[in-house]
Chain A
Amino acid sequence: MRAIFQSKTFAILTILLTLLVIWYVMAVKLNTPWQLGVYERAGTSEWTTSQFINDTLNQKRPVLPSAHQVFSEMYVTIFQKPITSKRSLVYHSWITLSATLLGFAIGTLFGILIAIGITNNKALDRSLMPWVIASQTIPILAIAPMIIVVLNAIGLSGLLPKALISTYLSFFPIVVGMVKGFRSPKNIQLDLMQTYFASPMQIFFKLRWPSALPYLFTSMKVAIAIALVGAIVGELPTGAVAGLGARLLTGSYYGQTVQIWSALFMAAILAASLVMIVGLIEKRVTKNMGLTT
């Protein structure tokens, strides 16, 4: 019996249940004013508590939709629509996911290249790093529309502009992590390479790169999550018609809170899955490298 209470599953379930309870309490509370108005307009003066609660949890456009509304909307839009349909959440997720993955890939590559530059060149270290940091102090919401508009003006539209906003966000943790990683070899290891008269190229591939790999995975976990944020934000300013960002946008135009919340949940599920996949790849790679800790 004690084993059950101490198990991890039990702890997780307890937390989930608590969150669910809070969610429903909040839903009732936040949807009450509107429900009272509805009753008043309809001239309903007699209602039981259970009827009232039931009604607040099943409004068409609730302030805070209840969990079962969100999940049934998700179930319907994920499983019961053809995935090519504009009403399918899978379709919208894929649009956002493809921009995320493309942007993440470019961002990772770009970040690694900048880190290589910074660690190999003193001038670049001094001149580039401040810009890299400055780039992240500009709110992405402010710069995203400009990137989209400018790229549209030169004929780029669709996937790439969104992906570039993902890139813009995701290259940063990669740069920071990889600069640290490339500098992680110990002096004694660098001296060892000197005694072999190894070329800078050899030092990079035999020592710096493998030393930096654990740092790469840590940064990629952060980068892929914010790449998703970038792709969603990139869908907002253009009034995009497809993607999770578009679902958020149209949802807010028409007061479709249930749609907004299902898009948000979908984004969270995507982010968690992406981070998990990077984590699994990390496990595999570090195991193959004999670095299991």
Chain B
Amino acid sequence: MSNSPVILAKDMSLTFETNDGPVHALKDINLEINEGEFVSFIGPSGCGKTTFLRAIADLEKPTKGEIFVNGMTPSEARKNRAYGYVFQSSALLPWRTVEQNVALPLEITGISKSEKQQHIERTLSMVDLIGFEKKYPHQLSGGMQQRVSIARALAFDAKLLLMDEPFGALDEIVRDHLNRQLLELWAKAKMTICFVTHSIPEAVYLSTKIVVMSPRPGEIADIIDSSLPNERPLEIRESKEFLDIAHRVREGLRASHSYDEENA
């Protein structure tokens, strides 16, 4: 099982049946993601990025083809709590404090009190939120809320983290900061991360692999392996290498007519 890729999609398609007829959210997706990779999914709205993440998470079922998570079916993987999921909005429970929100998944698996406390401290320090344990979500900024939901997603010590535009609603300064923290976390915890974003710089800065997607039907337009070093100060975004990769992403988006719709 250790040799199997973390994610393996084979000719996977996913069609939603709606009242207005079928919506082809994903078509013939072939993708392999290996342990320790940081993979970004980029593409215009509606190209199926969220749907792909949800298919990995067993929140949607592929209508054709197959997808494996750690060599298991998504539903087995979900049963094994093989992944943590960070939603687009923080989805924190407003009646729970920060530490209670982080503890939610642990309460569901059942875990001893001392272990729970240890775990809360560890994950909250990972996202730099020590001192905010007793605060309620509405007392936190958007960036802090999203950090809480990342800490929560680290609950099962899963080696796979699925993140759906986690920083989409945040301003650029906060976003930069969180991007740095996320890279540190990724390096420290040796995880595999699937990260959906709208932002080309964000995708290039974070990823070891960038999956460019095109809409209607959602297909993979390009897969770019990043040549950037693992150590990435923010200044790297001005380097030639960085700009070259960004250019290739932009080309991939253009070639797949991703800009047509947006300009219209």
CB contacts (< 8 Å) of B54 on chain A: these are: 191
A192, A195, A213: the one contacting B78 at CB < 8 Å is A195
Let me know if A188 is at the binding interface, CB within 8 A. Answer: yes
**Contact call B57/A290, Cβ cutoff below 8 A:** no
Closest B residue, CB atoms, query A291: B95
Interface membership of chain A positions 158-183, coded 1 if the CB is closer than 8 angstroms to chain B and 0 otherwise = 00000000000000000000000000
CB contacts (< 8 Å) of B138 on chain A: these are: 290
**Contact call B95/A289, Cβ cutoff below 8 A:** yes
**Contact call B97/A206, Cβ cutoff below 8 A:** no
Using A192-B87, A206-B104 as known contacts, say yes or no to A290 and B81 having CB atoms under 8 A apart: no
Q: Which of B119-157 contact A (CB under 8 A)?
A: 136, 138
Let me know if B234 is at the binding interface, CB within 8 A. Answer: no
Q: How far is the CA of A290 from the CA of B107 in the complex (A)?
A: 20
Let me know if A210 is at the binding interface, CB within 8 A. Answer: yes
Q: How far is the CA of A191 from the CA of B164 in the complex (A)?
A: 13
Let me know if A14 is at the binding interface, CB within 8 A. Answer: no
Let me know if A253 is at the binding interface, CB within 8 A. Answer: no
Let me know if B85 is at the binding interface, CB within 8 A. Answer: yes
Residue of A195, A197, A213, A291 most packed against chain B (CB within 10 A) = A195
B interface bracket (residues with beta carbon within 8 Å of A): 20 to 34
Q: How far is the CA of A192 from the CA of B91 in the complex (A)?
A: 8
Q: How far is the CA of A207 from the CA of B95 in the complex (A)?
A: 10
Let me know if A194 is at the binding interface, CB within 8 A. Answer: yes
Could you tell me how many residues of chain A have their Cβ less than 8 Å away from some Cβ of chain B?
A: 19
Using A191-B59, A202-B108, A206-B108 as known contacts, say yes or no to A196 and B81 having CB atoms under 8 A apart: yes
**Contact call A195/B57, Cβ cutoff below 8 A:** yes
**Contact call B79/A290, Cβ cutoff below 8 A:** no
Closest A residue, CB atoms, query B153: A195
Interface membership of chain B positions 194-226, coded 1 if the CB is closer than 8 angstroms to chain A and 0 otherwise = 000000000000000000000000000000000
Let me know if A238 is at the binding interface, CB within 8 A. Answer: no
**Contact call A188/B91, Cβ cutoff below 8 A:** yes
**Contact call A198/B108, Cβ cutoff below 8 A:** yes
CB contacts (< 8 Å) of A186 on chain B: these are: 91
Pair count A-B, CB < 8 A = 54
Q: How far is the CA of A291 from the CA of B58 in the complex (A)?
A: 32
CB contacts (< 8 Å) of B94 on chain A: these are: 290-291
Closest B residue, CB atoms, query A198: B108
What is the predominant secondary structure among interface residues of chain A facing chain B? helix
**Contact call B83/A195, Cβ cutoff below 8 A:** yes
Q: How far is the CA of A207 from the CA of B93 in the complex (A)?
A: 8
Return A186 CB to nearest CB of chain B, in Å. Answer: 8
Let me know if A85 is at the binding interface, CB within 8 A. Answer: no
B87, B95, B104: the one contacting A188 at CB < 8 Å is B87
B87, B104, B108: the one contacting A191 at CB < 8 Å is B87
Let me know if B89 is at the binding interface, CB within 8 A. Answer: yes
**Contact call B95/A189, Cβ cutoff below 8 A:** no
Let me know if B105 is at the binding interface, CB within 8 A. Answer: yes
CB contacts (< 8 Å) of B89 on chain A: these are: 188
CB contacts (< 8 Å) of A207 on chain B: these are: 93
**Contact call A194/B95, Cβ cutoff below 8 A:** no
**Contact call B136/A290, Cβ cutoff below 8 A:** yes
**Contact call B93/A196, Cβ cutoff below 8 A:** no
Closest B residue, CB atoms, query A286: B95
Q: How far is the CA of A202 from the CA of B107 in the complex (A)?
A: 9
Closest B residue, CB atoms, query A285: B95
Q: How far is the CA of A213 from the CA of B94 in the complex (A)?
A: 12
Q: How far is the CA of A196 from the CA of B138 in the complex (A)?
A: 24
Closest B residue, CB atoms, query A202: B108
**Contact call B78/A194, Cβ cutoff below 8 A:** yes
Using A195-B57, A195-B83 as known contacts, say yes or no to A210 and B78 having CB atoms under 8 A apart: no
Residue of A196, A289, A291 most packed against chain B (CB within 10 A) = A196
Interface membership of chain B positions 43-61, coded 1 if the CB is closer than 8 angstroms to chain A and 0 otherwise = 0000000000010011100
Return A80 CB to nearest CB of chain B, in Å. Answer: 48
Closest A residue, CB atoms, query B152: A192
Closest A residue, CB atoms, query B100: A290
CB contacts (< 8 Å) of A206 on chain B: these are: 93, 104, 107-108
Could you list 26 A-B pairs, sorted by A, with CB under 8 Å?
Answer: A186-B91, A188-B87, A188-B88, A189-B91, A189-B93, A191-B54, A191-B59, A194-B57, A194-B58, A194-B78, A195-B59, A196-B81, A196-B104, A197-B81, A197-B108, A202-B108, A206-B107, A207-B93, A210-B93, A210-B95, A213-B95, A289-B95, A290-B94, A290-B96, A290-B97, A290-B136
Given A194-B58, A197-B79, output 19 extra A-B contacts at Cβ < 8 Å.
Answer: A188-B87, A188-B88, A191-B54, A191-B85, A195-B57, A195-B59, A195-B78, A195-B84, A195-B85, A196-B105, A196-B108, A196-B109, A197-B81, A197-B108, A198-B108, A202-B108, A210-B93, A213-B95, A289-B95
